[in-house]
C-alpha cells in the first residue's frame, strides 16, 4: 500500500479537508488513497458493495468549495438516491433490476455541495429492517474486530468502512437504532439527530421513524457534517428548531454541570449482558469525574411492555409500503420470492392490521413520545444507557429461517432493546465507543438528550472524547 494511503487511514475528515484547503494534497490524491484502502481491506469484510471509482475520479477536478471539499465518502445502500447510479436497498430483486436514480435525494445533493467525493455504496440489510448487515442480495458484512460477528445494522457496511479507515466518515440512517447500533459494534461515533433536523425529502416523510446523518471516528466530524446538511427541505412536515450556533462551535465547549440519569438494567426486566452493564457504569464514573451529577434514574415509561408491539406495528406498515415501492419499480406485484422471509413476514403482518390498528399504534406512540420527553422537562439533561443489550452476536444468529421467518426479528428485539424509544420520541441520541470487553469487542454507550438538543450531546461527547480518547483504538486491517 502506498505511503499516503496508509498515512491517511486514521486521519479524520476535518483534517483531510484541511489538507486540501491548505494545498498539501489534492482531492484526487485523497480519493486514490481511499480507493487503495477499500481495495485492500474490503474483500474480507464486504462493507462496500457498489464501487463508483471512475465517476468519483471524474468529479474531483470541479468540486464545490464546501467544508469537506475533496474528502472521500460513501453512501448507504438505502433510500439515498444518487443521480445516474443504482440503489438496491439490500433487495435481490432491485439489485437485479439495476434501476438508476433520475435525480439526487435532497440529502445527497447537500453531501455533494459540502464538497464530498462520493465513491460508492455500503452494505445494508434488506430494506434496513434488522440490526445486522447480511442481506441475501450482497452477503454478510463482517465485524473487523471479530469477523464471525455482526457489525450491527442497518448501517453496518458504513460502520465497517469507517472503523477500518477506508473512509473517515460515511452516510448512515437510523429508523430504530441503525446508526447507533453499528457504531457500538464497530467502536465508532454514531449520532441519531432529532426528527426533522435533516430533511429526508423528497420521497420520504420526516414524521416517520427514520433520520439520516453519518457514522464517524471523531465528534468534530459528526458536528461538521451536521452543520453542512442540516435544515428542512421543501414541504417538510416536521422541522426541528434552529440551533443557537453552529454545531462545530459546541466541540470543546464547556457543557457546565449536567444532571444525568443512568440506566444499567433492562427497563422491561429482560436480560442485559454484564459487559453492557459494566460499560454504562464505567461511563457514569467518567461523567461523574468530569463534574456532572450522575444518578441511577430513568423515565418510567421505558418499562412499558407494550412498547415493542407498538413499534412493530409502525415498522411492519413501513415494510409493506417499501414492498409496494419495489413492485412499482419492478412493474409487477411483489411476491414472497422477491423478499427475504423475515421481511415478507412483516408485510403479511401489516396486511392483517386494520386502519384502526395502525391509528391506535400511532396514537400510543404519540402518548409515549410525550411521556418520555417529560422526563427531560422535569429537569434532567441527559440519559445514559447501553447502546445494545449485549456484545455483537454471531452473524449466524440472524440468518433467515424460512420455517421460522420471524426468528431474526425476535433475535433483533433482544439485541436492540435500547435504541427504538428515541426514534419514537424523535429525540437525538449518540453512541460513543468508551468501552471494550475482555475479548476486545467494542461496547458502546448511548446518551440521549431532549428534543432538538444535539448541542448538549456534542458538548458532552467532545468532553468525553478529550478526557478518555478512543482515536487510538483500531481493529486489525488488511
How far is Cα 381 from Cα 361, in angstroms, rounded to an integer? 28
At 203, list the grid cell. Answer: 420521497
How far is Cα 280 from Cα 136, in angstroms, rounded to an integer? 35
173 is catalytic: no
Q: Which of 25, 45, 24, 22 is nearest to 33 (CA)?
A: 25
Give Cα 374 to chain centroid, integer Å: 25
Catalytic residue among 76, 95, 112, 192: 76
Question: Residue 185, Cβ neighbours under 10 Å: how many?
Answer: 37
* 296: three-class secondary structure by DSSP: strand
Catalytic residue among 88, 178, 216, 218: 178
154 is catalytic: yes
* 150: three-class secondary structure by DSSP: coil
Length of the chain counted residue by residue: 478
Beta strands 382-386 and 259-262, pairing class: parallel
51 is catalytic: no
| Helix (H) / strand (E) containing 158 | helix 156-163
How far is Cα 80 from Cα 154, in angstroms, rounded to an integer? 14
How far is Cα 469 from Cα 472, in angstroms, rounded to an integer? 7
293-296 β-sheet, strand order: 169-174, 211-216, 189-192, 429-436, 442-449, 382-386, 259-262, 293-296
Catalytic residue among 41, 105, 154, 194: 154
By annotation, the residues acting in catalysis are: 76, 154, 178
Amino acid at each position: 500500500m502506498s505511503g499516503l494511503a496508509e498515512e491517511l487511514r486514521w486521519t479524520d475528515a476535518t483534517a483531510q479537508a484541511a489538507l486540501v484547503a491548505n494545498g498539501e494534497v489534492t482531492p484526487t490524491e485523497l480519493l486514490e488513497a481511499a480507493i487503495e484502502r477499500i481495495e485492500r481491506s474490503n474483500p474480507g469484510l464486504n462493507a462496500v458493495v457498489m464501487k463508483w471509482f471512475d465517476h468519483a475520479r471524474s468529479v474531483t477536478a470541479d468540486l464545490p468549495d464546501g467544508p469537506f471539499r475533496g474528502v472521500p465518502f460513501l453512501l448507504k445502500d438505502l433510500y439515498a438516491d444518487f443521480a445516474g447510479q443504482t440503489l438496491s436497498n439490500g433487495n435481490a430483486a432491485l439489485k437485479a433490476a439495476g434501476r438508476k436514480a433520475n435525480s439526487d435525494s435532497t440529502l445527497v445533493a447537500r453531501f455533494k455541495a459540502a464538497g464530498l467525493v462520493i465513491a460508492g455504496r455500503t452494505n445494508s440489510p434488506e430494506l434496513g429492517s434488522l440490526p445486522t448487515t447480511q442481506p441475501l442480495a450482497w452477503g454478510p458484512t463482517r465485524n473487523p474486530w471479530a469477523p464471525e460477528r455482526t457489525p450491527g445494522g442497518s448501517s453496518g457496511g458504513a460502520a465497517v468502512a469507517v472503523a477500518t479507515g477506508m473512509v473517515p466518515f460515511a452516510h448512515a440512517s437510523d429508523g430504530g437504532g441503525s446508526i447507533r447500533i453499528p457504531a457500538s459494534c464497530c467502536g465508532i461515533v454514531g449520532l441519531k439527530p432529532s426528527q426533522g433536523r435533516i430533511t429526508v425529502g423528497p420521497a420520504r416523510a420526516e414524521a416517520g421513524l427514520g433520520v439520516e446523518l453519518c457514522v464517524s471516528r471523531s465528534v468534530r466530524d459528526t458536528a461538521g457534517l451536521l452543520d453542512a446538511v442540516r435544515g428542512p427541505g421543501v414541504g417538510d412536515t416536521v422541522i426541528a428548531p434552529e440551533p443557537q450556533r453552529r454545531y462545530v462551535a459546541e466541540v470543546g465547549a464547556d457543557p457546565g454541570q449536567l444532571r444525568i440519569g443512568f440506566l444499567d438494567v433492562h427497563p422491561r426486566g429482560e436480560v442485559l449482558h454484564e459487559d453492557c452493564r459494566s460499560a454504562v457504569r464505567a461511563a457514569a464514573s467518567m461523567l461523574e469525574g468530569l463534574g456532572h451529577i450522575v444518578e441511577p434514574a430513568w423515565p418510567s415509561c421505558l418499562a412499558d411492555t407494550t412498547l415493542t408491539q407498538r413499534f412493530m406495528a409502525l415498522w411492519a406498515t413501513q415494510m409493506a409500503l417499501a414492498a409496494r415501492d419495489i413492485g412499482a419499480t419492478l412493474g409487477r406485484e411483489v411476491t414472497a420470492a422477491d423478499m427475504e422471509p423475515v421481511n415478507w413476514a412483516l408485510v403479511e403482518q401489516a396486511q392483517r392490521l386494520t386502519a384502526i390498528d395502525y391509528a391506535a399504534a400511532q396514537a400510543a406512540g404519540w402518548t409515549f413520545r410525550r411521556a418520555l420527553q417529560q422526563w427531560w422537562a422535569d429537569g434532567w439533561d441527559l440519559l445514559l444507557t447501553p447502546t445494545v443489550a449485549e456484545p455483537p452476536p454471531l452473524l449466524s444468529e440472524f440468518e433467515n429461517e424460512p420455517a421460522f421467518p420471524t426468528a431474526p426479528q425476535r433475535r433483533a428485539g433482544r439485541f436492540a432493546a435500547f435504541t427504538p424509544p428515541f426514534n419514537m420520541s424523535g429525540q437525538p441520541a449518540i453512541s460513543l465507543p468508551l468501552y471494550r470487553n475482555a475479548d476486545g469487542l467494542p461496547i458502546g454507550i448511548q446518551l440521549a438528550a431532549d428534543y432538538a438538543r444535539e448541542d448538549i450531546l456534542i458538548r458532552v461527547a467532545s468532553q468525553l472524547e478529550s478526557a478518555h480518547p478512543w482515536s487510538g483504538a483500531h481493529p486489525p486491517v488488511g
